[in-house]
Structure 1
Amino acid sequence: MRIILVRHAESLGNVDELAYCRIPDHALPLTARGEQQAVDIGPRIRALLGTGPIAVYVSPYLRTRQTLQLMEIDDLADRIVAEPRLREQDWGNLQDPVEQEVQKRQRHEFGHFFYRLAHGESGADVDDRVASYLAELELRMLRQSSHPTTVLVVSHGLAMRLLCRRLFSWSIELFESLSNPNHCEFRVLERDEQGVWSIDRPFTQWRQSPDGSTQKTSVR
């Protein structure tokens, strides 16, 4: 089994934080630069996927769906599923810029995993839903012989880090020390015949984990 995780390309919200005040998070489009990023990464992702068939699971947000479309790999897909559990962390509805700055500061001081946004989710909430997605995916693959063994997931930076945290049993302190991948950056997760999961490369860390733990790159 192989899972290829891809972060969406640059969106309007990445270059204009005030966009969150007038456009719902789920409806923020890619920028022109983001569109080109998605086009450019397409051949690299296609090379990883081979001849297919693959199963595609994509966050239902506009920026992730646009990224997937511009990668032009639909012809390899046995199925394309919009999966809400892969969405971005929920910050609430249209955001007030002053309140959001306060929220960001408090979240950084409290810890990104446990801090619950006033009108949205905590990192722990996202962790729970990506864990639910992973468990269901493995069950589907066991019960459905037709389900492809290669899976492409187009999602968000936080969801990618938390999915790997769950899969590799990384500590919460370590998760909070990891940086988001860049736009259209990807990770390749593989499970061998002995049931051992591995990741092709670690995430960048902006600090050493306070508990001294490191990113395990394989786990049974």
Structure 2
Amino acid sequence: MGVRELLLVRHGESEGNLAAAEANAARAEEIAVPARDPDVWLSDLGRSQAQAVGTALARLPAQERPEVVACSPYVRARETATAACDTAGLLLPAQVDERLRDRELGVLDRLTEVGVLTRYPGEHARRQWQGKFYHRPAGGESWADVLLRLRAWLSEADDVLSGKRVLVVSHDVVIVLLRYVCEGLDEEEVLELARETPLHNASLSRYVRDSDERWNIVGYDDVTHLEAAGLSVTEHRGAPHAGA
């Protein structure tokens, strides 16, 4: 029957998110990230947000709780998964999979929009022409490239995790593109979704598969658990190396 349910969580606010917000506010060219992208950790707020995810998981009925964790190898995602499961008291088998990692930005890594325009005007113009879905920066990935690895992951998960409810802890572009796959969206629809409904840090989204093998969205970008905990709800839209 394949995977029965996907519970999708974007990682909590990261130090990279904060650095990107500061650089964009200052109109700086480069983002002063504290580490390479895979090693960027959660902010203090991000850790609290991850714990709030755990509180939400603990409140789920037993028949809706996840049975296994699939996680991006990036530190901010693994920290979120660990904090959420520890808070919920869930001892779940975990699979760290590089196919769930954030999009790689190549030469645009650590640059703000101002930085891209200043240092790589030709790349900036090419991105404007090709669009976000198909533009592949030198040494990086397009959204279509990310989709290739996500389709491979989901196909394998259907075999290995058949019948399971899977908690996926990853990044905003990964969750948006999983929605593209599950709902059969097209380029225009997924770009509008990302533009009009950006995913918040530590938000919850849920897909349930019916008897006809169709994915049905039950909730998307739910942040009520963060609001109930009195935590700031952070958006941090994707930007070159914003720790998305």
Same fold (TM over 0.5): yes
In 1, the alpha carbon distance for the partners of 2:179 and 2:52 equals 25
SS of 2:104's partner is coil
Q: Look up the SS of the partner of 1:72 in the other structure.
A: helix
TM-score (norm 1): 0.79
Alignment of 1:178 with 2:196, yes or no, is no
1:6 pairs with one of 5, 9, 33 = 9
SS in 2 for 1:124: helix
SS of the equivalent of 1:201 reads strand
Amino acid of the structure 1 residue aligned with 2:155: A
Equivalent pair of 2:108/2:137 in contact (CA under 8 Å): no
SS in 2 for 1:9: coil
- 5 Å-filtered alignment, 1:124-163, equals 124-142=144-162, 149-163=164-178
Q: Where do 1:3-152 residues align within 5 Å?
A: 3-17=6-20, 18-20=31-33, 23-48=35-60, 50=62, 54-73=67-86, 76-92=90-106, 95=109, 97=111, 100-102=115-117, 105-106=124-125, 107=127, 110-142=130-162, 149-152=164-167
Is the 1:24–1:94 contact (alpha carbons within 8 Å) kept by the matching residues of 2?
no
How far apart in 1 are the matches of 2:36 and 2:12?
18
**What is the count of residue pairs matched by the alignment?**
198
Q: Give the 4+ runs in structure 1 shifted more than 6 A.
A: none
Per the normalisation by structure 2, the TM-score is: 0.72
Instruction: Check 1:63–1:93 CA distance in 2 against 1; reply closer, same or farther (3 A cut).
Output: farther
CA distance in 2, matches of 1:68, 1:123: 24
Q: Percent identity?
A: 29
Looking at structure 2, the residues matched to 173 and 133 of structure 1 have their Cα atoms a distance apart, in angstroms, of: 24
C-alpha distance in 1 between matches for 2:83 and 2:12 = 10
Which 5+ residue runs of structure 1 have no aligned equivalent? 143-147, 205-220
Q: Distance in 2 between matches of 1:203 and 1:35?
A: 18
Unaligned stretches of 5+ residues in structure 2: 21-30, 223-244
Cα RMSD after superposing both structures: 2.7
Structure with more contact order per residue of length (Cα contacts < 8 Å, sep ≥ 6): 2
The equivalent residue for 2:219 is 201
C-alpha change, 1:174 and 1:83, in structure 2 (3 Å) is same
User: In the TM superposition, what is the alpha-carbon distance from 1:78 to its structure 2 partner?
Assistant: 4.2
| Equivalent AA in structure 2 for residue 186 of structure 1 | L
One-letter amino acid of the counterpart of residue 103, structure 2 = Q
